[in-house]
Structure 1
Amino acid sequence: MSTSLNTFFFSVYPYICLTVFLLGSLARFERAQYTWKSDSSQLLRRAQLRWGSNLFHIGVLFLLFGHTVGLLTPHALYSVFITASQKQMLAIVSGGAAGTLCFIGLTMLLHRRIFDARIRKTSRRTDLALLLVLWLQLCLGLLTLPFSYAQRADAHEMLVLADWAQRIVTLRPDASQMAFVMWPFKLHLVLGMTVFLLFPFTRLVHIWSGFGTLAYALRPYQLVRSRRLGANARRNGIRHEM
């Protein structure tokens, strides 16, 4: 990768993707709320959907959490409890297991959407394109595992990637160190950022609703009365006014 492309993809492109991700999601919620849904097709091939969806969501939630914590936790915070090499092995084992579950589930969902004529006719082009992009991203993620295992002794690549991600979050981008990162990691990062870029234009926006439901845990209890008690209360109120 040339120096200019390296600078663009790892210093400029992350902020483009994050801006479109946040502002695009807000704009879609404001202007097209009726499209803010997952467009479920659960009435067709329910068993395959149930297995595929459960495996995919279990795997992808673990991967999102693992990538976030793994990349954005400073080395100084965990070095007291675990070495960089041990952290890399933990990421390889846990990420490999979660990635495999996610891959199996997503492959089932992709097969269902492509080879079932009824589902294919009711699917948008973006649905199929999104599944293909996510499937390719998973393949790239699993491809990085042998490279990570080969570098488990010093975990150099992992430390470089973590430092790059932390600099992006703290608005101190530095793409120079990414010039020496191996190509599978670079492709995995670029495609991962592209998923955030596509996020507001696909059914992925329903993830925001999933996080929004957590607010219900903080709501006060509702007072629910039976119909008879409600009628009696209204009757007593009328009598009191008389």
Structure 2
Amino acid sequence: MIDQFLWVIFPYLCVAVFVIGHVWRYRIDQFGWTAKSSEFIEKKQLMIGSILFHFSVIPVFFGHIVGLFIPAHWLSAIGVTEHLYHIGAVYIGGIFGVVMLIGMIMLTFRRITKQTVRRLSSASDITVNFLLLFITFMGVYATLVTNAVVTDFDYRTSISVWLRSLFVFSPDANLMTDVPLSFKIHVITGFLIFALWPATRLVHAWSLPFNYIGRSYIIYRKNK
């Protein structure tokens, strides 16, 4: 029953909350559909941490898409060997994961140590920071440590197949039985962040400010 809940019921619940929650949030809180800026309070740590996080999250995201949603034999058919995929997933993915982790550590440290920033932070802001930090840490740990220790484990024959089975509404919880604990925690917390997404500042990810590219700079001056 626990396996059925974790690997069948829970993922569908999180996806349902993700979709319905966004519709609800957009209908009742369009003015709050943003991430509150705290740049005027502290700029240096925010700039470095934000650049590291946002620079690395894009390749990490696409790495997950390739590893989880594209079957291994498809990649093999176009010439991506097991060794080549391993280099990309573990070494290149691990580097970007570490960069993302450093960025999250800086952003979380800033939020809890800067008194003014902490006072302006809501409970959901702090929750999201720590949850993203934990998810990133578990992802890096699973990639660099678990893969090195459990050498016979291949997530493309277990986690990837299980995840794709969810999308065709034929989930098989048994595929997750022998998955190492670090990967299981990473997957569960990953779905959890999707469930929390509509109720947090993460919704701003869907509002890409393309108009920033061509607009003039905003100049701030001190009021003497």
Query: Are 2:2 and 1:5 equivalent residues in the alignment?
Result: yes
User: What's the CA shift string for 1:201-236, capped at 9, x where partnerless?
Assistant: 1000011112xx67x8xxxxxxxxxxxxxxxxxxxx
**Following superposition of structure 1 onto structure 2, how do residues 95-134 of structure 1 map, counting pairs within 5 Å?**
95-134=93-132
User: What's the CA shift string for 1:155-202, capped at 9, x where partnerless?
Assistant: 533321111111112222111111111111111100000000100010
C-alpha distance in structure 2 between counterparts of 1:176 and 1:85, whole Å? 27
SS of equivalent residue, structure 1 residue 137:
helix
C-alpha distance in structure 1 between counterparts of 2:35 and 2:5, whole Å? 33
- Partner of residue 70 from structure 1, selected from 67, 70, 89: 67
- Aligned residue in 2 for 1:36: 33
C-alpha distance in structure 2 between counterparts of 1:71 and 1:95, whole Å? 14
Residue 23 (structure 1) shift = 1.1
Mark the runs of 5 or more structure 1 residues left unpaired by the alignment.
Answer: 217-242
Computing the radius of gyration over CA atoms, which structure comes out larger, 1 or 2? 1
SS of equivalent residue, structure 2 residue 169:
coil
Mark the runs of 5 or more structure 2 residues left unpaired by the alignment.
Answer: 212-224
Residue 76 (structure 1) shift = 2.2
- Aligned residue in 2 for 1:148: 147
SS of equivalent residue, structure 1 residue 101:
helix
- Aligned residue in 2 for 1:184: 182
C-alpha distance in structure 2 between counterparts of 1:117 and 1:29, whole Å? 31
- Partner of residue 55 from structure 1, selected from 52, 56, 61: 52
Q: How big is the alpha-carbon RMSD for the aligned residues of Structure 1 and Structure 2? A: 1.7
> Residue type matched to 2:54 in 1?
H
- Aligned residue in 2 for 1:227: none
- Partner of residue 21 from structure 1, selected from 1, 15, 18: 18
> Residue type matched to 2:102 in 1?
I
**Following superposition of structure 1 onto structure 2, how do residues 220-235 of structure 1 map, counting pairs within 5 Å?**
none
TM-score of the superposed pair, with normalisation by structure 1 = 0.81
Kept after mapping to 1: 8 A contact 2:197/2:203: yes
Kept after mapping to 1: 8 A contact 2:72/2:156: no
> Residue type matched to 1:17 in 2?
C
User: What's the CA shift string for 1:124-154, capped at 9, x where partnerless?
Assistant: 11111110001111111111122223455x6
Relative to structure 1, is the Cα distance of residues 88 and 168 closer, same or farther in structure 2, using a 3 angstrom cutoff? farther
User: What's the CA shift string for 1:48-93, capped at 9, x where partnerless?
Assistant: 1111101011122221121122100022210121233532332111
TM-score of the superposed pair, with normalisation by structure 2 = 0.88
> Residue type matched to 2:148 in 1?
Y
SS of equivalent residue, structure 2 residue 207:
helix
C-alpha distance in structure 2 between counterparts of 1:169 and 1:86, whole Å? 27
Q: Runs of 4 or more off by more than 6 Å in structure 1?
A: none
Residue 32 (structure 1) shift = 0.9
Count of residue pairs brought into register by the alignment? 209
- Aligned residue in 2 for 1:226: none
Kept after mapping to 2: 8 A contact 1:151/1:157: no
C-alpha distance in structure 2 between counterparts of 1:156 and 1:93, whole Å? 15
> Residue type matched to 2:14 in 1?
C
